[in-house]
Amino acid sequence: MKEAKSRVQSGVDAGGLPVCLDGVFTPLADALGLLRERRADEGLLRRVREWPTPVPWAAMPDQPSLMMVRAVFSADLEMERFVGMVARSGCRPWCLEMPGDRFVSFNADKHCRGKLVFRWGQHLRSLRVMDFGRFDGRRISEIRTFSGQPLVEFHRRLLEEAAFPVCLRFSDVTGWMCGGGNRSAGYEQLLMLAVRDGILVENFRMSDCEERRLVEERLLPAMGLVERRLGLRPLVVRLYEPHEEDSPECWQYPGGLYGVARALLRGRDCGC
């Protein structure tokens, strides 16, 4: 398969929106074909393993993987979509978590782990599972729900109850994604994993100022660096189509898990 020339560009237009993300994403079918070719390239394997950063090769699953990175994974609708993509791809799911990161309530990806929104068709109902005032700014691994259960464990139980038809593999990557205050290096390592060992699955809400800044200041430079060193674009596929990327669905949960979440809290919640 001939690889398309990359068009990774940074910067914004006059309206404050990103100029181009064409060089970031590869269609899933194309990414799977490229991954097969790259994994058969012994020379590429040597060059990748010589990368001068502490990429966690030992933690990599033995088989090709679809990777996703979140502070904490849970059984939300985003995970449902990711599991569906895994099933279609024939790859193994690899969930990269950062439980040692700080919880900040203004970050939507983290906020939704403390206040869950459940969906039944068009009907929504929320359930707050933690004290935001008490734990804001604390490490996620230190947070307890209203019942005293560790927040990470609470979300693991939801995943167990969801009974997804794939075996999810989790790795704590706090040390190399957040360690030393150099998150740009963490993105370099993450994208290195997506050169010949797996495919990164992501969704970028470019209407969000914080997320747009992360993409332009960290992800795009890291992607350009990896490509310049190896001559290959890291394999990144969209979880949501562009017209869906701002949908609140990714932070919502299937309504069938509402009773499970209430039971885990033992009735101790604020309900809003």
DSSP 213-232: HHIIIIIHHHHHHHHHHHSS
**Strands (E) located in 28-180:** 65-70, 92-97, 115-120, 123-128, 169-172
Identify the bridge partners of residue 125 per DSSP, sorted by sequence position. Answer: 118
How many Å apart are CA 113 and CA 127, to the nearest integer? Answer: 10
pTM for the whole thing?
A: 0.87
Q: Where are the domains of the chain?
A: 31-265
Question: For residue 216, what pLDDT is reported?
Answer: 85
Whether the pLDDT of residue 56 is over 90: the answer is no
Whether the pLDDT of residue 269 is over 90: the answer is no
How many Å apart are CA 151 and CA 113, to the nearest integer? Answer: 8
Mean pLDDT on 247-263: 93
Q: What pLDDT digit, counting tens, does each position of 214-234 carry?
A: 888 888 899 999 999 999 999
Q: First and final CA of the chain: distance in angstroms? A: 51
- Angle, in degrees to the nearest 10, between helices 77-89 and 151-162: 50
Whether the pLDDT of residue 6 is over 80: the answer is no
Helix (H, G, I), strand (E, B) or coil at 197: coil
**Strands (E) located in 71-158:** 92-97, 115-120, 123-128
Share of the chain above pLDDT 90, in %: 59
Q: From the CB of residue 230, how many other CB atoms can be counted at a distance below 10 Å?
A: 17
Phi, psi dihedral angles at 81 (to 5 degrees): -65, -40
How many Å apart are CA 258 and CA 266, to the nearest integer? Answer: 12
Q: What pLDDT digit, counting tens, does each position of 72-83 carry?
A: 999 999 999 999
Which strands make up the sheet holding 123-128, listed edge to edge?
123-128, 115-120, 252-254
Angle at 11 between CA 5 and CA 16, to 5 degrees: 130
How many Å apart are CA 249 and CA 233, to the nearest integer? Answer: 29
How many Å apart are CA 119 and CA 238, to the nearest integer? Answer: 23
Q: What pLDDT digit, counting tens, does each position of 134-175 carry?
A: 999 999 999 999 999 999 999 999 999 999 989 999 999 888
The distance from CA 3 to its chain's CA centroid, rounded to whole angstroms, is 25
Which strands make up the sheet holding 65-70, listed edge to edge?
169-172, 92-97, 65-70, 198-202, 236-238
Phi, psi dihedral angles at 109 (to 5 degrees): -65, -30
Question: For residue 234, what pLDDT is reported?
Answer: 96
Phi, psi dihedral angles at 6 (to 5 degrees): -70, 150
Q: What pLDDT digit, counting tens, does each position of 76-134 carry?
A: 999 999 999 999 999 999 999 999 999 999 888 999 999 999 999 999 999 999 999 99
268 pLDDT band, cuts 50/70/90, is low
Share of the chain above pLDDT 70, in %: 85
- What residues contact residue 95 under an 8 Å CB cut-off, 6+ apart? 67, 68, 70, 73, 168, 169, 170, 171
Question: For residue 12, what pLDDT is reported?
Answer: 43
